């Protein structure tokens, strides 16, 4: 399934609203969007995964890339990931690097 990404910029955060699958074919699109942000100066990055059904290791690598480029004090939120995506993130030890919330209202 194709991936569409909408970028919403706030005062101290950027939200990427993803719709589709983040797999080997589409993860480069996500990485491209992340690379275009000034990650080194970003306090908060929010990835809205409510409409995402699937994230492969290529998608996880894009998330790791973003977190590595962001300041140590920054926060990377994953909004509304499915239980299967949360399980993958937890299994790979990446849950320590992100904050998982059910909706943006929780932030």
Partner 1 sequence: MKDARTEREIGSIEAEASMDQWETFIDFATDHISRWVDDKSRNYKLRLAFEELVSNIIRAAGSDRQANSTSVVLEISALERIDNNTSWFVLRTSDNGAHFDPQFESRAPVDTAQHVNERAIGGLGLFLIMQSVDRVNYQWKGGRNVYELSTQLAADSSQPEQGSTG
- If one asks whether residue 73 binds partner 1 (CB under 8 A), the answer comes out as no
Cβ neighbours of 20 (radius 10 Å): 16
Among 42, 36, 99, CA closest to 71: 42
Query: Which letter does DSSP use for residue 17 in this model?
Result: E
Among positions 92, 103, 106, 107, the unique one binding partner 1 when judged by CB under 8 A? 92
* Rounded CA separation 35/27 (Å): 12
Q: Which distant-in-sequence residues (6+ apart) come within 8 Å of 65 by Cβ? A: 31, 34
- If one asks whether residue 97 binds partner 1 (CB under 8 A), the answer comes out as yes
Q: Which is nearer to partner 1, 36 or 96 (CB)?
A: 96
Instruction: Give the x-and-dash track for 11-30 against partner 1 (CB under 8 A).
Output: ------------xxx-----
- If one asks whether residue 103 binds partner 1 (CB under 8 A), the answer comes out as no
- List residues binding partner 1 (CB under 8 A): 23-25, 54, 56-58, 60-61, 64-65, 67-68, 72, 83-84, 87-88, 91-94, 96-97
């Amino acid at each position: 399934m194709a991936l569409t990404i909408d970028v919403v910029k706030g005062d101290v955060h950027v939200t990427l609203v993803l719709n589709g699958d983040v797999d080997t074919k589409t993860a480069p699109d996500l990485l491209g969007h992340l690379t275009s942000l000034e990650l080194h100066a970003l306090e908060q990055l929010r990835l809205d995964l409510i409409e995402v059904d699937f994230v492969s290791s290529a998608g996880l690598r894009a998330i790791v890339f973003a977190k590595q480029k962001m300041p140590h004090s920054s926060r990377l939120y994953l909004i509304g990931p499915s239980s299967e995506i949360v399980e993958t993130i937890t299994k790979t030890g990446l849950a320590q690097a992100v904050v998982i919330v059910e909706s943006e209202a929780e932030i």
